[in-house]
Amino acid sequence: MRYPFDRLVRADAVVVGSGIGGLTAALAMAPRRVLVITKGDPGGGSTPWAQGGIAAAVAAADSPADHAADTVAVGGGLNDPAAVEVLTADAPRRVAALEALGVRFDTGPDGKVLLGREGGHQHRRVLHSGGDATGAEMMRALVRAAAAAAHVETLPFAFAADLVRDGARVVGVTARTDDGEKVLALAPAVVLGTGGIGRLYANTTNPPEVTGDGLAMAARAAAALADLEFVQFHPTALASGRDPMALLTEALRGEGAVLVDDAGDRFMVGHHPDAELAPRDVVARAIWARLEAGRRVYLDATAAVGASFPERFPTVFALCREDGIDPRVEPVPVAPAAHYHMGGVATGLDGRASLPGLWAVGEVSCTGAHGANRLASNSLLEATVFGQRAGEAVRAAGAPPVEATAAFAAADPGPAPGDLSEVVAQVRRTMWHRVGVVRDGPGLTAAVERLGELEGRLPPAASEARNMVEAGRLIARAALARGESRGAHFRSDFPAPAPPGEEAAP
């Protein structure tokens, strides 16, 4: 039997993506044989870019119940209570597990862990590493553990093209390596850990590889999706012309940094009771309104952080200095940017998707824990909590090896496409202007139509560009269907939340 593949690989499970969710799941599957497919080196994606930290109720004055209450308050009433309970109750245990893995959280002179506060939190409960390098520290420990794990094999520099199905069941993944090799990886369990959709937008804090691949793959396989309209725009990205834009962690505002416009107005005071520590969607829209009115907006940490910037926020300090800005003595220009996707592949509490054999973890998944808006520093937490649960579920499930059949030949990923940069640029502009911080019906309709036109310009082979077009159209359609404003989804033509039960159009 002849297949259009250069290599056939069999494993007990395939994990697509090597961020915190994917590697946590892979490690938890031991001793089952796991193949991790990743676009670049292991440990890429958004995780190492995460600055703020990981939220957990580890302080004596805090509790998982308070953490859950904050998560729901920010989530716009759409959180799944069971998912929130799992997320917040498991948080202290997952922090301890990360420490056991070698993650070094910042501590004070007394040896106790330092806790920060961010928007939407009623307590200081955010653990961080290296001041503002939490994600990088987590990935350091996870990549080291995965490299030492005998049950984990990695296929780096490989683009996962599509899920392979045998009837209704997912039985593998096709991939194309950077040197053109076509791979068929068969396994009774596939875990998507591909991250979010930030690169769909012209302004984003996400790295270039975050192109909605897992979401598009799951959609083509007919897996259930949820909450796609809810895209979080971080309010404070460094407005210096970078692409991606550099993130200015919310921990800065937690330590007292303030937002001012070019007239010197500290506009968040009076706009929301928590001022700069209001939920991210509130702050992002307030900044957006100032920018649309022709003002410029700055984050001023000169009084709150000042001379201690290099020690307390070394990542942010270095980024600012690269762009000729000294945040110790001058305010930093900021603007909103696409940062996180609350929607994704619908899963249960163990990461299991609607298709047999398919799981999803981290940002590509939708557990329901975030609702319409994610609480700050719950992203790394969700990835480790549900990554662990998914890995344990795959390990416990077991399944016989998958046998290759002639039907799998149809999953050929095709050759690498040519230059699609102009299509990608138009997708990003369309999403930013039509499906961005503030939306309306005509703009969303235009986005759906434009993305359909762009799809017609793509070659048939699997590509990031095709995934971006497909994921963008799914998000735009979901936003068009939700005729209300809720959480991170704001419609200027429907500026208020709809009554319960009437949140979305039929």
* pLDDT tens by residue, 287-298: 999 999 999 999
Dihedral in degrees, nearest 10, Cα atoms 159, 160, 162, 166:
140
CA distance 384 to 390: 10
Residues 431 and 358 in one domain: no
Which segments of 205-350 does DSSP mark as H helices, in order?
213-220, 251-254, 280-292, 309-312, 314-322
Residues 201 and 69 in one domain: yes
Nearest C-alpha neighbor of 90 from the set 378, 361, 376, 394? 378
Nearest C-alpha neighbor of 48 from the set 114, 142, 119? 142
- As given in the structure block, the two tokens for residue 293 are 């009115």
Question: Of the candidates 335, 361, 387, which is a domain's last residue?
Answer: 335
Q: Which domain holds residue 442?
A: 417-481
CA distance 333 to 294: 14
Residues 447 and 474 in one domain: yes
Of 329-333, 408-412, 488-492, the poorest mean pLDDT is in 408-412
The packing angle between helices 441-455 and 464-481, to 10°, is 150
**Backbone Cα Rg of the chain:** 22
Question: Of the candidates 379, 408, 437, which is a domain's last residue?
Answer: 408
> Average pLDDT in the 84-98 region?
98
Between 71 and 409, where is the model more confident?
71
Residue 178 lies in a domain: yes
Residues 144 and 42 in one domain: yes
> Average pLDDT in the 201-221 region?
96
Which pTM value belongs to this model? 0.94
Residue 459, C-beta contacts closer than 8 angstroms, at least 6 positions apart: 414, 417, 418
- Active-site residue, from 32, 199, 280, 491: 280
Residues 166 and 75 in one domain: yes
> Average pLDDT in the 342-357 region?
97
**pLDDT bracket for residue 409 (50, 70, 90):** low
Residues 358 and 209 in one domain: yes
- Whether the per-residue pLDDT at 104 is higher than 60: the answer is yes
The question of whether 328 is a catalytic residue gets the answer: no
pLDDT at 399: 73
Of 5-9, 379-383, 501-505, the poorest mean pLDDT is in 501-505
Residues 151 and 270 in one domain: no
**pLDDT bracket for residue 270 (50, 70, 90):** confident
Residues 312 and 378 in one domain: no
Residues 11 and 89 in one domain: yes
